[in-house]
Amino acid sequence: MSLTQFVPTPDFDEYSTRFEEHYAMSRRDDGVILIKAHTRGGPIQLSVENHRSVGQMFRTVGADPKNEIMIFGGSGDEFMMDSDPEGFRLEEEDMAYWSYEYAWKDGRINSYALIFDMEIPTIGILNGPGFHTELCLFCDITLAAEGATIFDLHYDIGSVPGDGIHSCFQELLGVKRAAYALYTGEAITAEKALDYGMVNEVVPRDELEVRAFAIADHIMKQHRVTRRVTSQIVRRPWKRRLVDDLDGGFGMQMMAHMQKGTSVHGKSFISDIVSYVRKGRKNNFDK
């Protein structure tokens, strides 16, 4: 008998309740867990609070040995097209503190937790248009709804695109396409994303979860160790990319962010710009 005990691993009933304000979670008996990010039951509205929850959630789910495959996506018809109207008050009141806590620490942890702290296969389901879609694109397999649109607006809102989406775009799009998308805020449709190799399949929105579970069923046919080790093989390019790019990108974004001295993620900075996606324009500067 060992002199010490195992430290308890996370319990699904406990953490699914703890995270319920930000994520609706359900898990099948075989360990396939479905996680749908939301704000009050609808599409995600970006805030300092839900931004922090991302890495906390991924680390917790990754630490539960009863989870075997993670399916992750958003809620409603959009992934993330708005900011919480009061979601960046903390940053505006004390930028020096939150530029580190929110923009540097939490942001880096969010990406690292998904790539490094998950020992299981992951399936992203992009349910609609939105920013910060790297959370779905970083997954091993990504399905997109027919009406989904991928874009990054950091440059258009006066920020440096260095907080993870740049790594995602450069890895998936290549140097030239990524540069164009980051400078122009290009609205990449689901069909173009499939052609570019950013997503694996485009399906009707109401079939996203069904298709994701079908793929999960196929993956589950192999031995647990085979599944888990394979996930680490297919994730190695992302690990290399993040180690090489992410900290430096965040550092450059934060430096520019502090020079401006104003919040760049609040609703007033984003609402007018994201409207071009809803209007179907290719770029924000195309009228």
* pLDDT tens digits, 166-192: 999 999 999 999 999 999 999 999 999
Residue 156 has pLDDT above 90, yes or no: no
Q: Which strands form 122-126's sheet, in the order they lie side by side? A: 23-27, 32-37, 69-73, 122-126, 141-145, 201-203
- Among residues 250, 263, 259, the alpha carbon closest in space to that of 95 is found at 263
Cα 18 to Cα 117: distance, rounded to the nearest angstrom = 19
CA end-to-end distance (rounded Å), the chain = 72
Predicted local confidence at residue 263, as pLDDT: 57
Q: Give Rg (Cα) of the chain.
A: 19
Q: Which residues of 138-177 are buried (b: 16+ CB within 10 A; e: fewer)?
A: bbbbbbbbeebbbbbbbebbebbbbbbbbbbbbbbbeeeb
- What is the arithmetic mean of pLDDT over 55-73? 98
Residue 278 is predicted with a pLDDT of 76
Say whether pLDDT at 38 is over 70: yes
Percent of the chain scoring above 70 in pLDDT: 93
What does the pLDDT look like over 206-219, one tens digit per residue?
A: 999 999 999 999 99
CB 87 within 8 A of CB 52: no
Lowest mean pLDDT among 7-11, 105-109, 271-275, 278-282: 271-275
> If pLDDT is split at 50, 70 and 90, which confidence band does 272 have?
low
* pTM across the whole model: 0.94
Q: What is the pLDDT of residues 251-270, one digit of tens each?
A: 888 788 777 665 555 545 56
**Predicted pLDDT at 91:** 83
Sign of the C-alpha dihedral computed for residues 6, 8, 12 and 13 taken in this order: positive
Q: What is the pLDDT of residue 102?
A: 85
Predicted confidence band at 98 (pLDDT cuts at 50, 70, 90)? Answer: confident
Between 85 and 61, residue with greater pLDDT: 61
Average pLDDT, the chain: 92
* pLDDT score recorded for residue 30: 98
Give DSSP secondary structure letters for the chain: --SS-PPPPPPHHHHHHHTTTTEEEEE-TTSEEEEEE-BTTBSEEE-HHHHHHHHHHHHHHHT-TT--EEEEE--TT-SEEEE-TTTTHHHHH-HHHHIIIIIIIIHHHHHHHHHHS--S-EEEEE-S-BS-THHHHTSSEEEEETT-EE---TTTTT--S-SSHHHHHHHHH-HHHHHHHHHHT--EEHHHHHHHTS-SEEE-GGGHHHHHHHHHHHHTTS-HHHHHHHHHHHTHHHHHHHHHHHHHHHHHHHHHHHHHTS-SSSHHHHHHHHHHHHTT-SSTT--
